Chain A
Amino acid sequence: MYRSNNPYRPIETKVLEVITETPTIKTLKLKPKEELTFETGQFIELTVPGAGEAPFTPSSRPAVKDTIEVSVMRVGKVTERIHSLKKGDTVGIRGPFGTGYPMEEFKGREVLVVGGGCGFAPLRSLMYEFFEHSGEFKALFFRGGCKTPKDFLYKKEIEGWAKRDDLDVMLTVDEGDGQWKGNVGVVTTILDGIPMDHKKGVAVVCGPPIMMKFATKKLGELGFKDSNIYLSMEKNMSCGLGKCGHCRIGTYYACKDGPVFRFDRIKKFPNIWD
């Protein structure tokens, strides 16, 4: 719940660290002047003074209360400016906004997490939540894909995940290079044969729209129920309060009712993948 008097003003925030993850993605470690807690899957609006704001889902652990991390792909005006930020710079944060992942729903069940490209960012925060409560889930699977091996966000960290006993990891790239020894192909090519009960299991998908569209289709073919598929619908969220109108999907606002949606709740609306 948002607690500011003026919901449009950002909280003053320091940039503590800027990490270059891939040629197009940087991660910012941020320290807001006021405590800001979020639930995994909720998003924030990040302001660059003089440039404007844009929505991002934190990629850090919700349990960490004094700092917050976002991974930002350079795609437009504001993200261009974010990429030029340096340690010590001042930015602003509004939020958190929206409805994140329903962690309680996942407990006691087999969970498959499917990520693509920059979609790893919200999913890393989700994975931290899973690890934090390890043992409360029946089984965890992570399937991730990127364009090329150099596009992998959190590469080192995910290599660490692969060694965990409580997680089954498999990665793929659309296009390999000399060193890549894993699967080559889009993410749907590594979704077959996962040792879980598809009819009862939960799937979480986050990535570019085209990837989510085909991954969701594939999950349906594998036997996942629409009501067990959770998608991150990152629309043009601006005010974060369900007022400015830009992010409406059918009868919902992505900024309030989402960005995480159960597929069965939005599947009937047209153009959800665009």
Chain B
Amino acid sequence: MAAYLISRDNFLNLLGTLQKDYSVYIPLKKDENRFFTRFKSDEKDKEDGHIVFGEVRTVEPLKVFYMRSRERVAEGFKDELPSTGAKPSCIVGVKACDLKGFQVQDRVFRDDEYKDPFYIREREENLIISADCTCAIDTCYCLALHVNPYPQSNYDINISEVSGGFVAESGSEKGEKIIAGNASLFSEAGSNHLAERDAKRKGVVNEVKKNIRENRIPDQDVLEGAVERNYNAPLWKEEAAECVECGACNMICPTCHCFLMYDQQDAERMARLRVWDSCMVKDFAQVAGGANPRPELWMRLRNRFEKKFDFFPKFSDIYACTGCGRCITACPAKIDIRKVLRRLVENV
């Protein structure tokens, strides 16, 4: 695929153009965190460094654009999908860890024998302009899950920050069309730009490697069978001791896909909604009669790891973790996935 060069100004102009067809979301930095925020082309703060296309992942996982935290999935007995009336989303600055989340979400909602039309609609209509990470933060460990800190698939256009703007590459027909349709904004990238991109990538890879080394985070190659071997180990009770059952680890996870359906309490205007659900919450698997296969919190913590590191690789040959490190930051009890994984392979 050909590589192009686009200046920062031209890139912002491109986003302005894309607003015709999409709601454009960009990562905006607030304090030390980045949040997806609606792009306004007339906005002044595109000058002052608040928009960070590079750096690292946002606080919210990418899945917020593919399965809303709350959405209407049925109205009455009508077979039509409830319409949101919203334009599709163009999500800019998506990082490689979030793109790996697609491997899990696609398997569940798109590539399964049963299709989820809501997810598929978003997947087909949304546009992804991903970006290389330009640094790592201490919770990053993507390489342990064999994800590089720069996108390699599942994007429409990827950008890599270099002097003079970005190296842009299309990863889909949709991306190729956008570049071709706005050809005046792009020029051909030179070998110096590509060399700069590759050097930057290498630098970030080394930062993540350092994180992995310092925290002794096991590589996914040694995780096979680790949860099963430790099924009755004391680590689950110990790690769950401080858990407050808030479910933040599930909400923030780019691979967690479980949801709860509930009906509006109005028989005349029947509507079914779904919200994200958390397997850490006590009644998650409980049935109406009261039976519960995981009545204790530590069983539910173990189940969360089983789902990600045992069930999913058996079900679909992938580990349902992207190494984004969000759950480490989100947990009020400071339960650290890196430590749990380390204990699983070091048997401590």
Chain A positions near chain B (C-beta within 8 angstroms): 1-2, 4-12, 33, 47, 49-54, 75-79, 92, 208-209, 234-236, 238-239, 241-251, 256, 270-272, 274
Complex contacts, A4 vs chain B, CB 8 Å:
79
Complex contacts, B292 vs chain A, CB 8 Å:
274
Q: A6-B73, A50-B265, A50-B266 are in contact. List 20 more A-B contacts (CB 8 A).
A: A6-B74, A6-B79, A8-B74, A11-B77, A47-B263, A47-B270, A49-B267, A49-B268, A50-B263, A52-B262, A53-B261, A76-B288, A78-B288, A238-B260, A242-B108, A244-B258, A244-B259, A251-B314, A271-B294, A274-B293
Q: How far is the CA of A12 from the CA of B270 in the complex (A)?
A: 12
Q: How far is the CA of A235 from the CA of B299 in the complex (A)?
A: 17
Complex contacts, A241 vs chain B, CB 8 Å:
112, 114, 116
Q: Is residue B284 contacting chain A, with contact meaning CB distance below 8 A?
A: yes
- Give chain A nearest CB distance to B295 CB in angstroms: 7
Size of chain B's interface in residues, with CB distance under 8 A? 53
For the A-B complex, the count of residue pairs with Cβ-Cβ distances under 8 Å equals 132
**What are 21 A-B contacts defined by CB distance under 8 Å?**
A2-B114, A6-B117, A8-B272, A9-B73, A9-B76, A9-B77, A9-B78, A9-B272, A47-B263, A50-B264, A50-B266, A51-B263, A236-B286, A239-B259, A239-B261, A241-B112, A242-B112, A243-B114, A245-B279, A250-B311, A251-B310
Q: Are B293 and A246 in contact (CB under 8 A)?
A: no
Complex contacts, A247 vs chain B, CB 8 Å:
285
Chain B positions near chain A (C-beta within 8 angstroms): 73-81, 108-109, 112-117, 231, 257-268, 270, 272, 274, 277, 279, 284-295, 299, 307, 310-311, 314-315
Q: Are A243 and B288 in contact (CB under 8 A)?
A: no
Q: How far is the CA of A12 from the CA of B267 in the complex (A)?
A: 13
- Closest-by-CB residue of B relative to A271 is B293
Complex contacts, B293 vs chain A, CB 8 Å:
235, 249, 271-272, 274
Q: How far is the CA of A54 from the CA of B76 in the complex (A)?
A: 17
Complex contacts, A242 vs chain B, CB 8 Å:
108, 112, 114
